[in-house]
Structure 1
Amino acid sequence: MMGSRYVVYTADVTPEAQARPVLTESFGCAYLTQTVLTISGGTALFESGQHEELLFVLHGRGRLLLDGGEHDFGPESGIYIGPGETYRFDVTEPTEIVSVRVLNPAGDEVAVGDRRTVSPLDAQEIGKATAGREYRILADPSTGFRSGTHFVGDVPPGEAAPVHYHRYNEVIYILQGNGILHIDGERNPLYPGACIHLPARTLHQVENTGDEPMREVAVFVPAGSPAAAYLPDGTSAYPTQPDDPQGGVR
């Protein structure tokens, strides 16, 4: 589908040096932007500027050098970068990374725990969400990411979750599987490399049309639970979460 207001496909974006800017401010992303980075070999230097930055390693291996420390990374690792930091990748095999930047990071009013710079996916606990979905949190305020939550979620085959919305703003990258995003009259195909911009309080439905779990990596702001989803009338779509105190959307 061409001309979607919510989905960009990585392969359709012309690279700029090492980067493919897939979800940008010009696309309407007012809270989060998303870029796919490719590092073929050697070293690559980056700066976070005023942003908090969340990275997810799609494939590749190497070492992150940050603030005098060294951190090994491999596939399916989440990485947290704070505002005003310069960091370098020394890669030992070609590496591809999904980078999400928080345009307006939260301030000191948000309490944070001890920082965790690198978070291997397989070391994180599994949580449960709507319609049999599972998720693992890579970073949130408890690990030093002040503004939001960085997680990987699995959407199982079979019946889709009901039409719902979230109170947070979110960007998503599809890692594996196939499906459809039903949103605001659009029917967008989903497959690896599809990037989704999901504004807060927008009704949508993700349907897995394949025979394996559809996996996504996402960042949302402000922080919260990936299980916090609401039906159009504001009722929680998952029993452990409270209803929306602001009421529903139509």
Structure 2
Amino acid sequence: MPSSSDQGIQNTLLLPPDDLARSLILASADDQNRPHIGLVGDTYTVLLSGKDTAGRFCLIDMHIPPGGGPPPHRHDFEETFILVEGEMEATFRGVQSTVKAGETIHIPANAPHQFHNSSDQPVRLLCLCSPAGQEDFFAEIGVPVATRTTPPPKLDAAAQAAFKAKVEALNPKYKTEMLQRS
């Protein structure tokens, strides 16, 4: 019978070798070369994409102005929010709670949720999605903006209708469902 130290060696040997094609990434939301995406009045900066993490997760810095935040929705991936600055309202399965700077919330896959900045100050949060893919959805439906706090352009009624149609068309590809506001 193998000893516990032998078992530890065997488990270590099951790890694949270091992938030298992957390298350290140092990302800053203030880097002008990072993708800054304007969407639903908010600005999302992709810090780490699925290409950076071998598809395991993506990390997005979110700037949510007063009144901002996405409509109710759900999707098939895990999502964690770390509130860096400000205070926001989060609704999870119909139950609303206040989330403050320094707090973290986790949304299980497929659970209905939304977040909303009901304060008079911007909110900054980090969003971790696992597996990656949400950053690609944002890139397809949003518009590039200059910085992490640059607001997206205001949409007139025709542009809003076109945006909604585009989101609805892409929802199945990204396994996302928009829900009715309660």
TM-score by length of 2: 0.61
- Compared with structure 1, are the counterparts of its residues 149 and 114 closer, same or farther at alpha carbon in structure 2 (3 Å cutoff)? same
Q: Structure 2 CA distance, aligned partners of 1:175 and 1:84? A: 35
1:239 aligns with 2:166: yes
Say whether the 8 Å CA contact 1:136–1:152 is kept in structure 2.
yes
- Compared with structure 1, are the counterparts of its residues 156 and 84 closer, same or farther at alpha carbon in structure 2 (3 Å cutoff)? farther
Task: Select the structure with the greater relative contact order (CA < 8 A; seq sep ≥ 6).
Answer: 2
Unaligned runs of 5+ in 1: 1-49, 51-82, 86-107, 230-235
Runs of 4+ in 1 over 6 A off after TM superposition: none
The residue that corresponds to 1:127 in the other structure is 37
The one of 183, 186, 190 equivalent to 2:95 is: 186
1:215 aligns with 2:143: no
Q: Structure 1 CA distance, aligned partners of 2:136 and 2:121? A: 21
Q: Which has the higher helix share?
A: 2
Letter of the 1:239 counterpart: K
Letter of the 1:199 counterpart: P
Letter of the 2:85 counterpart: Q
Measured after TM superposition, the shift of residue 227 of structure 1 is 7.1
Aligned with 1:193: secondary structure? coil
Aligned with 2:101: secondary structure? coil
Letter of the 2:25 counterpart: T
TM-score by length of 1: 0.46
Q: Deviations over 1:153-185 (max 9, x none)?
A: 112212553211133211110011112101113
Q: Which has the higher strand share?
A: 1
For these two proteins, the number of residue pairs brought into alignment is: 136
Q: Structure 2 CA distance, aligned partners of 1:143 and 1:160? A: 26
Measured after TM superposition, the shift of residue 145 of structure 1 is 4.5
Aligned with 1:118: secondary structure? coil
The one of 158, 171, 177 equivalent to 2:80 is: 171
Say whether the 8 Å CA contact 1:137–1:152 is kept in structure 2.
yes
Q: Deviations over 1:183-210 (max 9, x none)?
A: 1132110110121111112111211011
Q: Structure 1 CA distance, aligned partners of 2:133 and 2:176? A: 18
Larger radius of gyration: 2
- Compared with structure 1, are the counterparts of its residues 141 and 163 closer, same or farther at alpha carbon in structure 2 (3 Å cutoff)? closer
Q: Give the root-mean-square deviation of aligned CA atoms.
A: 3.3
Q: Structure 2 CA distance, aligned partners of 1:144 and 1:197? A: 20
